[in-house]
């Protein structure tokens, strides 16, 4: 209350003092945790810390070792497969559902509630449910077999070649509702007159969507893409719950690799190097986006 | 609409005696055919999708109400022949993690003790932050805010270890207070954004009038902004409650086995390698863990939808 804006006051520090005091938690979080923590991790990724962080630099050795570790290569491969498919499918399914919901249908709220409820559930719950449904002994496989196809095999969680698709199914179930919601908001934001004009010109509906509506929804797509992509990089809980990274290391992902090396293998340097790679992946996704979105405003 | 203009001429000619209602001719839109091909495709596709989304919930409920013998024989989609609530009781009070056999109830109460203060602290901090950013900008405030928002995209794994060190130095590592602090920190970007955008959207005249009347920072916050921002508080509460309840990573890193939140305990119960797998108990436990966010979701309805657009970044 004391420090209103008083121009000409000698000490700039006390201007707007209450606001500054109130923002201390935010400033501390931004600078110490987000900026400081990130820099700390990146710096220590160049050391040979084992059980405890130590500042003895070894250059890029941790990274060389990282890219020589089969487990890391598997987890990167998994992330790439899962990431690409997850992006394609969640955008497609999400958009299709949104387009269907936008046909002035009845029970729209009911459908929305149904499509979105998985998003309220945690990845742990999601993973455990799908672990049960995909259980070869009792789940989908056994049901189909009991219907007569006795050679039917669908056991993604026990087959290391396709385990990542089992995780993808669960992830899509959990996440597409959100994409649908974002897309629907985008569709609703489009001027009704566009549709009328397209109809007057006799353009078929699918063509209107493909060549007029989707290009108009570019900002929505970009935002959704960034949201999905940054979620993909940090996928962790789902894998832990559904497969624990198994069979063997077949469904390992970078986030799990980081966690295991930091807290179990007591090889901190490896963990830091791996997490720095994750940071790099996210940076590749969001720097261009932030640049476009905020017109090259300063990035932290 | 255009038909109602032409119809009155022919209307009375057909049934002259029948009052004024027909005189006006048919009103409103032309009735649509219910079973048009278009409708069949639209509702068919939506219905199929709805089934896909509902199956896991159905399977969870059905499995949790069956006895183990029935599960071994039947298929997972068939409804229970004999409904039993024993798995629920067992999941709540007897399921084992390691040496502890007191069920999920411990995890539930841990989660309550984590979620309630975390939600309150994080919303309190974030609303004041948002208010300061919206109405009391100072030199550099936008830079801090930008760092905060960019920080929301940084994978948690990058920042976890430094936080472990900081908490250890403060003597909070492994305690509930530590976890509450962590949740408040990582909830901050989205929550601050939410509140800032809301306060920016309020008419500036209100703020100016209060300033002229001599109100200060906190006075305006408590007496003008707070009473006006109930909806955004509800939205952010929904967001934080489900988000913190569903958290797994922070729970696993920052707590000890006796203070594990529900999600961590659930994962330990279901994925424990020892003992016979009791799928019905597992599904009951899973449902119990999902119950809180589900209830929040179904009760809050549209507010949840409003919140996720902003909260989605949290992933």
B151/A33 CB distance under 8 A: yes
Distance CA A250, CA A253 (A): 9
CA B239 vs. chain centroid, Å, equals 5
B141/A19 CB distance under 8 A: yes
pLDDT tens for each residue of B214-234: 888 899 999 988 998 888 898
Distance CA A19, CA B132 (A): 5
Q: CB-CB: which of A117, A120, A255 is closest to B157?
A: A255
B216/A1 CB distance under 8 A: yes
Q: Is the pLDDT of residue B260 over 70?
A: yes
- Partners of residue A1 in chain B, C-beta under 8 Å: 216-219
Alpha helices (runs of H) in A234-267, residue ranges in sequence order: 237-242, 254-263
Q: From the CB of residue A60, how many other CB atoms can be counted at a distance below 10 Å?
A: 12
H or E stretch at B214: none
Query: How many angstroms away from the CA of B10 is the closest CA of chain A?
Result: 31
Q: Look at residue B5 in the predicted model and tell me its pLDDT.
A: 41
Q: From the CB of residue A263, how many other CB atoms can be counted at a distance below 10 Å?
A: 15
Q: Is the pLDDT of residue B6 over 70?
A: no
- Partners of residue B58 in chain A, C-beta under 8 Å: none
Selected for mutation to probe chain A from B68, B72, B157, B298 (highest A CB count within 10 Å) is: B157
Q: Look at residue B315 in the predicted model and tell me its pLDDT.
A: 34
Q: Look at residue B284 in the predicted model and tell me its pLDDT.
A: 92
Selected for mutation to probe chain A from B52, B67, B158 (highest A CB count within 10 Å) is: B158
Confidence of residue B30 (pLDDT cuts 50, 70, 90): low
Domains of chain B, residue spans: 1-31, 37-84, 105-314
Q: Both tokens of residue A242?
A: 């559904």
Distance CA B235, CA B93 (A): 33
ipTM of the complex: 0.84
Q: Look at residue A125 in the predicted model and tell me its pLDDT.
A: 94
Pairs of CB atoms within 8 A across A/B: 279
SS3 at position B147: helix
- Inter-CA distances, B11 with B26, B27, B28, Å: 9, 12, 15
Q: Which residues of chain A carry a pLDDT beneath 70?
A: 1-12, 294-300
| CB A136 within 8 Å of CB A158 | yes
Distance CA A123, CA A206 (A): 35
Q: CB-CB: which of A27, A129, A234 is closest to B156?
A: A234
Q: Both tokens of residue A60?
A: 């890029």
CATH number of B105-314: 1.10.3720.10
Q: Mean of the pLDDT values across residues B15-44?
A: 67
- Partners of residue B143 in chain A, C-beta under 8 Å: 298, 300
Q: Both tokens of residue B24?
A: 């006006």
Query: How many angstroms away from the CA of A269 is the closest CA of chain B?
Result: 11
Confidence of residue B24 (pLDDT cuts 50, 70, 90): low
Q: What are the structural domains of chain A? A: 65-294 (1.10.3720.10)
| CB A22 within 8 Å of CB B125 | no
Q: Look at residue A299 in the predicted model and tell me its pLDDT.
A: 43
Query: How many angstroms away from the CA of A75 is the closest CA of chain B?
Result: 15
Distance CA A238, CA A163 (A): 13
Distance CA B133, CA B203 (A): 15
Q: CB-CB: which of A37, A130, A230 is closest to B153?
A: A230
As a whole-number percent, the residues of chain B with pLDDT over 70 amount to 86
Cis amide leading into A259 (omega within 30): no
Q: Both tokens of residue B69?
A: 């013998």
From B75, which residue of chain A is nearest by alpha-carbon distance? A143
| CB A232 within 8 Å of CB A83 | yes
Range name among A97-106, A141-150, B21-30, B95-104 with the lowest pLDDT average: B21-30
pLDDT tens for each residue of B34-91: 678 888 888 999 999 999 999 999 999 999 998 888 888 878 888 888 888 888 888 8
- Partners of residue B57 in chain A, C-beta under 8 Å: 117
Q: Look at residue A149 in the predicted model and tell me its pLDDT.
A: 81
Mean per-residue pLDDT over chain B, rounded? 83
From A97, which residue of chain B is nearest by alpha-carbon distance? B46
From A255, which residue of chain B is nearest by alpha-carbon distance? B157
pLDDT tens for each residue of A19-77: 888 888 888 888 888 999 999 999 999 988 888 888 888 888 889 988 999 999 999 99
The full DSSP string for A283-295 is HHHHHHHHHHHHT
The angle at the Cα of A168, spanning A167 to A173, to the nearest 5 degrees, equals 100
pLDDT tens for each residue of B168-206: 999 988 888 999 999 999 988 888 988 988 888 888 898
Closest CA to B42 of A196, A184, A98: A98
Which residues, 6 or more positions from A11, have their beta carbon under 8 angstroms from its beta carbon? none
CA A238 vs. chain centroid, Å, equals 12
B160/A113 CB distance under 8 A: no
SS3 at position B97: strand
Query: How many angstroms away from the CA of A23 is the closest CA of chain B?
Result: 6
Q: Is the pLDDT of residue B245 over 90?
A: yes
């Amino acid at each position: 209350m004391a420090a209103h804006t008083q121009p000409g006051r000698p000490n700039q520090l006390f201007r707007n003092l209450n606001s500054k005091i109130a923002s201390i938690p935010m400033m501390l979080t931004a600078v110490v945790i987000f900026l400081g923590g990130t820099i700390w991790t990146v710096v220590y990724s160049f050391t040979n810390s084992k059980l405890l962080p130590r500042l003895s630099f070894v250059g890029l050795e941790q990274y060389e070792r990282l890219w020589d570790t089969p487990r890391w290569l598997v987890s990167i491969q998994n992330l790439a497969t899962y990431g690409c498919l997850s992006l394609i499918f969640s955008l497609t399914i999400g958009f299709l559902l949104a387009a269907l919901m936008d046909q002035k249908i009845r029970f729209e709220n009911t459908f929305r509630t149904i499509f979105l409820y998985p998003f309220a559930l945690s990845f742990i719950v999601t993973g455990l449910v799908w672990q049960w449904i995909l259980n070869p002994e009792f789940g989908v496989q056994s049901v189909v077999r009991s219907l007569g196809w006795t050679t039917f095999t669908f056991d993604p969680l026990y087959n290391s070649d396709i385990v990542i698709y089992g995780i993808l199914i669960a992830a899509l179930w959990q996440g597409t509702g959100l994409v649908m919601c974002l897309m629907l908001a985008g569709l609703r934001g489009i001027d009704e007159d566009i549709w009328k004009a397209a109809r007057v010109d006799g353009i078929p509906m699918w063509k209107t969507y493909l060549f007029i509506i989707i290009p108009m929804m570019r900002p929505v797509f970009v935002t959704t893409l960034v949201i999905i992509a940054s979620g993909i990089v940090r996928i962790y809980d789902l894998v832990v719950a559904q497969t624990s990274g198994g069979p063997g290391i077949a469904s390992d992902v970078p986030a799990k690799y980081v966690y295991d090396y930091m807290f179990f293998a007591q090889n901190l340097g490896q963990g830091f190097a791996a997490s720095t790679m994750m940071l790099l992946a996210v940076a590749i996704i969001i720097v261009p986006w932030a640049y476009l979105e905020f017109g090259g405003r300063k990035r932290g | 609409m255009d038909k109602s203009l032409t119809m009155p001429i022919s209307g009375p000619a057909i049934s002259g005696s029948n009052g004024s209602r027909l005189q006006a001719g048919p009103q409103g839109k032309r009735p649509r055919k219910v079973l048009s091909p278009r409708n069949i495709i639209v509702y068919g596709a939506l219905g199929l999708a709805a089934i896909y989304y509902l199956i896991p919930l159905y399977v969870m409920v059905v499995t949790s109400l069956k006895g183990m013998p029935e599960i071994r024989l039947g298929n997972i989609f068939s409804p229970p022949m004999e409904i039993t609530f024993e798995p629920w009781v067992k999941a709540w009070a007897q399921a084992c993690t390691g040496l502890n056999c007191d069920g999920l109830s411990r995890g539930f109460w841990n989660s309550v003790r984590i979620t309630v203060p975390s939600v309150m602290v994080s919303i309190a901090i974030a609303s004041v932050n948002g208010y300061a950013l919206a109405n009391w900008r100072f030199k550099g405030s936008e830079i801090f805010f930008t760092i905060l928002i960019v920080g929301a995209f940084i994978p948690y794994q990058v920042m976890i270890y430094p936080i472990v060190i900081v908490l250890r130095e403060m003597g909070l590592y492994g305690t509930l207070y530590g976890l509450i602090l962590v949740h408040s920190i990582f909830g901050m970007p989205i929550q601050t954004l939410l509140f800032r955008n809301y306060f920016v959207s309020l008419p500036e005249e209100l703020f100016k009038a209060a300033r002229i009347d001599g109100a200060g920072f906190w006075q305006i916050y408590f007496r003008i902004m707070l009473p006006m921002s109930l909806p955004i508080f509800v939205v952010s509460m929904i967001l934080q409650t489900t988000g913190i309840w569903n958290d797994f990573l922070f729970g696993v890193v920052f707590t000890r086995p006796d203070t594990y939140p529900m999600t961590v305990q659930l994962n330990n119960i279901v994925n424990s390698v020892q003992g016979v797998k009791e799928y019905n108990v597992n599904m009951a436990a899973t449902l119990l863990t999902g119950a809180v966010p589900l209830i929040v979701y179904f009760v809050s309805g549209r507010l949840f939808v409003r919140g996720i657009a902003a909260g989605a970044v949290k992933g």
